[in-house]
Amino acid sequence: MTDSHAPRTALYPGSFDPVTLGHEDIARRTLKVADRVIVAVAHSSSQSREAAFPVEDRLDMLREVFADEPRITCVSFEGLLVDYARREGAAFVVRGLRAVSDFEYEFQMAQMNREMCPDMEFIFLMPDAHLSFLSASLVREVARLGGSVDPFVSPPVLRRLTARFGRGPAAGNTGAPAAGGTAGDTG
Ligand code: PNS
Protein backbone atom coordinates (compact mmCIF):
# COMPACT_ATOMS: atom_id res chain seq x y z
CA MET A 1 0.00 0.00 0.00
CA THR A 2 1.46 3.39 -0.92
CA ASP A 3 1.13 6.49 1.24
CA SER A 4 -1.68 8.39 -0.47
CA HIS A 5 -0.35 11.69 0.97
CA ALA A 6 3.21 11.31 -0.32
CA PRO A 7 3.81 13.53 -3.36
CA ARG A 8 3.91 11.50 -6.54
CA THR A 9 6.82 12.25 -8.82
CA ALA A 10 6.64 11.34 -12.49
CA LEU A 11 9.73 11.11 -14.65
CA TYR A 12 9.32 12.15 -18.27
CA PRO A 13 12.51 11.20 -20.15
CA GLY A 14 13.46 11.90 -23.74
CA SER A 15 15.85 13.52 -26.16
CA PHE A 16 13.86 16.77 -26.46
CA ASP A 17 15.92 17.89 -29.45
CA PRO A 18 14.16 20.30 -29.28
CA VAL A 19 11.12 20.29 -26.99
CA THR A 20 7.95 20.59 -29.10
CA LEU A 21 4.39 21.55 -28.21
CA GLY A 22 3.69 17.80 -28.17
CA HIS A 23 6.24 17.27 -25.38
CA GLU A 24 4.85 20.28 -23.53
CA ASP A 25 1.35 18.86 -23.76
CA ILE A 26 2.46 15.50 -22.33
CA ALA A 27 4.40 17.10 -19.44
CA ARG A 28 1.49 19.33 -18.48
CA ARG A 29 -1.03 16.50 -18.78
CA THR A 30 1.14 14.42 -16.48
CA LEU A 31 0.40 16.91 -13.70
CA LYS A 32 -3.14 15.52 -13.69
CA VAL A 33 -1.82 12.25 -12.33
CA ALA A 34 1.35 13.34 -10.52
CA ASP A 35 2.20 16.12 -8.09
CA ARG A 36 5.49 16.89 -9.75
CA VAL A 37 7.12 16.07 -13.07
CA ILE A 38 10.82 15.74 -13.75
CA VAL A 39 11.47 16.29 -17.44
CA ALA A 40 14.78 14.54 -18.00
CA VAL A 41 17.02 14.91 -21.05
CA ALA A 42 19.03 11.74 -21.63
CA HIS A 43 22.70 12.35 -22.33
CA SER A 44 22.84 9.32 -24.54
CA SER A 45 19.94 8.15 -26.62
CA SER A 46 19.31 6.80 -30.07
CA GLN A 47 19.21 10.44 -31.22
CA SER A 48 22.43 11.72 -29.72
CA ARG A 49 24.71 11.20 -32.72
CA GLU A 50 22.52 13.34 -34.95
CA ALA A 51 21.47 15.87 -32.32
CA ALA A 52 20.79 19.41 -33.49
CA PHE A 53 21.32 20.91 -30.03
CA PRO A 54 23.73 20.01 -27.24
CA VAL A 55 22.09 18.69 -24.08
CA GLU A 56 22.74 21.99 -22.25
CA ASP A 57 20.82 23.95 -24.90
CA ARG A 58 17.95 21.47 -24.84
CA LEU A 59 17.79 21.87 -21.08
CA ASP A 60 17.83 25.67 -21.33
CA MET A 61 14.91 25.52 -23.77
CA LEU A 62 12.96 23.17 -21.50
CA ARG A 63 13.53 25.43 -18.50
CA GLU A 64 12.32 28.47 -20.41
CA VAL A 65 9.28 26.64 -21.73
CA PHE A 66 8.24 25.40 -18.27
CA ALA A 67 9.27 28.53 -16.37
CA ASP A 68 5.60 29.19 -15.56
CA GLU A 69 5.09 25.79 -13.89
CA PRO A 70 6.89 25.22 -10.55
CA ARG A 71 5.73 21.60 -10.45
CA ILE A 72 7.85 20.79 -13.51
CA THR A 73 11.60 20.46 -13.03
CA CYS A 74 13.98 20.03 -15.96
CA VAL A 75 17.22 18.09 -15.61
CA SER A 76 19.62 15.97 -17.64
CA PHE A 77 20.83 12.53 -16.69
CA GLU A 78 23.45 10.03 -17.72
CA GLY A 79 23.24 6.27 -17.58
CA LEU A 80 20.20 4.09 -17.36
CA LEU A 81 16.79 5.65 -17.12
CA VAL A 82 15.62 3.13 -14.51
CA ASP A 83 18.59 3.90 -12.26
CA TYR A 84 17.86 7.60 -12.46
CA ALA A 85 14.13 7.05 -11.87
CA ARG A 86 14.91 5.00 -8.76
CA ARG A 87 17.36 7.59 -7.44
CA GLU A 88 14.73 10.31 -7.81
CA GLY A 89 12.05 8.19 -6.16
CA ALA A 90 9.81 8.45 -9.24
CA ALA A 91 6.45 6.75 -8.85
CA PHE A 92 6.37 6.13 -12.58
CA VAL A 93 7.91 6.95 -15.93
CA VAL A 94 5.71 8.66 -18.49
CA ARG A 95 6.03 8.68 -22.26
CA GLY A 96 3.89 10.13 -25.02
CA LEU A 97 2.13 7.81 -27.41
CA ARG A 98 0.99 9.54 -30.59
CA ALA A 99 -0.01 6.70 -32.84
CA VAL A 100 0.14 2.94 -33.21
CA SER A 101 3.50 3.38 -34.93
CA ASP A 102 5.00 4.57 -31.62
CA PHE A 103 3.79 1.53 -29.78
CA GLU A 104 6.37 -1.04 -30.84
CA TYR A 105 9.37 1.10 -29.83
CA GLU A 106 7.76 2.18 -26.58
CA PHE A 107 6.67 -1.35 -25.73
CA GLN A 108 10.16 -2.70 -26.35
CA MET A 109 11.77 -0.01 -24.18
CA ALA A 110 9.22 -0.40 -21.40
CA GLN A 111 9.64 -4.16 -21.35
CA MET A 112 13.43 -3.87 -21.23
CA ASN A 113 13.18 -1.30 -18.47
CA ARG A 114 10.78 -3.52 -16.58
CA GLU A 115 13.22 -6.43 -16.83
CA MET A 116 15.81 -4.20 -15.16
CA CYS A 117 13.42 -2.60 -12.69
CA PRO A 118 10.32 -4.74 -12.12
CA ASP A 119 8.76 -2.41 -9.57
CA MET A 120 8.82 0.70 -11.80
CA GLU A 121 5.59 1.58 -13.62
CA PHE A 122 5.46 3.00 -17.14
CA ILE A 123 2.47 5.01 -18.25
CA PHE A 124 1.66 6.42 -21.66
CA LEU A 125 -0.32 9.55 -22.36
CA MET A 126 -1.73 10.72 -25.67
CA PRO A 127 -1.09 14.28 -26.75
CA ASP A 128 -3.96 16.40 -28.00
CA ALA A 129 -5.10 15.14 -31.41
CA HIS A 130 -3.87 18.27 -33.20
CA LEU A 131 -0.33 17.49 -32.00
CA SER A 132 -0.34 13.80 -32.83
CA PHE A 133 1.66 14.20 -36.06
CA LEU A 134 4.36 16.27 -34.43
CA SER A 135 7.91 15.06 -33.79
CA ALA A 136 11.15 16.80 -32.90
CA SER A 137 12.83 15.23 -35.93
CA LEU A 138 10.20 16.70 -38.29
CA VAL A 139 10.50 20.10 -36.60
CA ARG A 140 14.30 19.96 -37.07
CA GLU A 141 13.94 18.98 -40.69
CA VAL A 142 11.35 21.64 -41.53
CA ALA A 143 13.44 24.29 -39.75
CA ARG A 144 16.61 23.17 -41.49
CA LEU A 145 14.94 23.36 -44.89
CA GLY A 146 13.57 26.82 -44.26
CA GLY A 147 9.94 26.02 -43.42
CA SER A 148 7.99 27.73 -40.70
CA VAL A 149 7.86 25.85 -37.41
CA ASP A 150 6.06 28.61 -35.48
CA PRO A 151 2.94 26.46 -34.91
CA PHE A 152 4.90 23.55 -33.46
CA VAL A 153 7.19 25.01 -30.79
CA SER A 154 7.11 27.67 -28.09
CA PRO A 155 8.81 31.06 -28.63
CA PRO A 156 12.06 30.20 -26.75
CA VAL A 157 12.49 27.13 -28.95
CA LEU A 158 11.65 29.07 -32.10
CA ARG A 159 14.37 31.57 -31.24
CA ARG A 160 16.96 28.80 -30.90
CA LEU A 161 15.84 27.09 -34.09
CA THR A 162 16.07 30.37 -35.96
CA ALA A 163 19.57 30.98 -34.56
CA ARG A 164 20.59 27.44 -35.47
CA PHE A 165 19.06 27.12 -38.93
CA GLY A 166 18.12 30.61 -40.01
CA ARG A 167 14.62 31.64 -41.02
CA GLY A 168 13.43 30.55 -44.43
CA PRO A 169 15.49 29.69 -47.53
CA ALA A 170 16.32 33.37 -48.09
CA ALA A 171 18.10 33.46 -44.74
CA GLY A 172 20.89 31.28 -46.10
CA ASN A 173 20.14 28.05 -44.36
CA THR A 174 23.49 26.48 -43.73
CA GLY A 175 22.73 24.26 -40.76
CA ALA A 176 24.23 20.79 -40.75
CA PRO A 177 21.86 18.10 -41.95
CA ALA A 178 19.45 17.12 -39.24
CA ALA A 179 18.27 13.60 -38.63
CA GLY A 180 15.20 12.39 -40.40
CA GLY A 181 12.32 10.90 -38.47
CA THR A 182 13.21 7.81 -36.50
CA ALA A 183 11.16 5.35 -34.59
CA GLY A 184 12.84 6.61 -31.46
CA ASP A 185 11.67 10.17 -31.76
CA THR A 186 8.46 9.87 -29.86
CA GLY A 187 7.79 13.42 -29.01
O1 PNS B 1 12.96 11.06 -27.11
P2 PNS B 1 13.55 9.69 -27.31
O3 PNS B 1 14.85 9.77 -28.11
O4 PNS B 1 12.57 8.72 -27.91
O5 PNS B 1 13.92 9.15 -25.84
C6 PNS B 1 14.56 7.90 -25.67
C7 PNS B 1 15.04 7.76 -24.22
C8 PNS B 1 15.90 8.92 -23.82
C9 PNS B 1 13.83 7.68 -23.30
C10 PNS B 1 15.86 6.43 -24.13
O11 PNS B 1 16.86 6.45 -25.10
C12 PNS B 1 16.47 6.24 -22.75
O13 PNS B 1 15.78 5.86 -21.82
N14 PNS B 1 17.79 6.53 -22.61
C15 PNS B 1 18.49 6.41 -21.36
C16 PNS B 1 19.44 5.20 -21.39
C17 PNS B 1 18.66 3.91 -21.13
O18 PNS B 1 18.14 3.68 -20.06
N19 PNS B 1 18.59 3.07 -22.16
C20 PNS B 1 17.87 1.81 -22.11
C21 PNS B 1 16.46 2.01 -22.61
S22 PNS B 1 15.54 0.49 -22.60
Section 53-69 average pLDDT: 97
Closest ligand 1 atom, CA of 41?
Answer: 8
Q: What is the span of the domain harbouring residue 55?
A: 9-130
Report yes or no on 115 lying in a domain.
yes
Residue 45: predicted pLDDT? 62
CA 125 to ligand 1 center in whole angstroms? 17
Evaluate whether residue 147 is within a structural domain.
Answer: no
The mean pLDDT of the chain is 89
pLDDT of residue 150: 96
pLDDT value at residue 1: 46
- Using alpha carbons, select from 87, 91, 116 the residue that is nearest to residue 37: 91
Share of the chain above pLDDT 70, in %: 84
Residue 90 has pLDDT above 70, yes or no: yes
Work out the pLDDT band at 183, boundaries 50, 70, 90.
very low
Give the atom of ligand 1 at the shortest distance from the alpha carbon of 136: 1
Cα 19 from Cα 173, distance rounded (Å)? 21
Residues 6+ apart with CB under 8 A from 65: 19, 24, 154, 156, 157
Q: Is residue 139 part of a domain?
A: no
How many Cβ atoms sit within 10 Å of the Cβ of residue 147?
16
d(CA 139, CA 158): 10
- CA-proximal residue: ligand 1, atom 8 (nearest): 14
Is 24 a member of any domain? Answer: yes
Q: How far is the CA of 147 from the centre of ligand 1 (A)?
A: 28
**Is residue 4 very low, low, confident or very high in pLDDT (cuts 50, 70, 90)?**
low
Q: Give ligand 1 pocket residues (Cβ under 6 A).
A: 13-15, 42, 45-47, 80-81, 109, 112-113, 184-187
Q: Is the pLDDT of residue 110 over 50?
A: yes
Q: Has residue 29 been placed in a domain?
A: yes
Ligand 1 centroid–CA 45 distance in Å is: 5
Residue nearest to atom 11 of ligand 1 (CA): 45
Q: Is residue 160 part of a domain?
A: no
For residue 116, give the CATH number of its domain. 3.40.50.620
Give the length of the chain: 187
% of the chain with per-residue pLDDT over 90: 80
Burial status of residue 80 (CB atoms within 10 A of its CB: 0-12, 13-18, 19 or more): middle
Ligand 1, from 81, 82, 87, 92: best to mutate by most atoms within 8 Å of Cβ? 81
Question: For the chain, how many structural domains are there in total?
Answer: 1
Across the range 79-100, mean pLDDT stands at 97
| Element (DSSP H or E) covering residue 180 | none
CA nearest to 55, candidates 63, 102, 146: 63
pLDDT of residue 48: 61
Say if 181 falls within a structural domain.
Answer: no
Question: In this predicted model, what pLDDT tens digit does every residue of 161-179 receive, in sequence order?
Answer: 999 998 754 444 444 443 3
Flag whether pLDDT at 44 surpasses 70. yes
* AA letter at 73: T
Q: What is the pLDDT of residue 167?
A: 74
Residue 142 domain-assigned (yes or no): no
Following CA atoms 104, 106, 109, 113 in sequence, which dihedral angle do they give, to the nearest 10 degrees?
A: -130
Prediction pTM value: 0.89
Q: pLDDT digits over 126-164, tens only?
A: 999 999 999 999 999 999 999 999 999 999 999 999 999
For residue 63, the model assigns a pLDDT of: 98
For residue 43, report the distance from its CA to the centre of ligand 1, in Å: 9
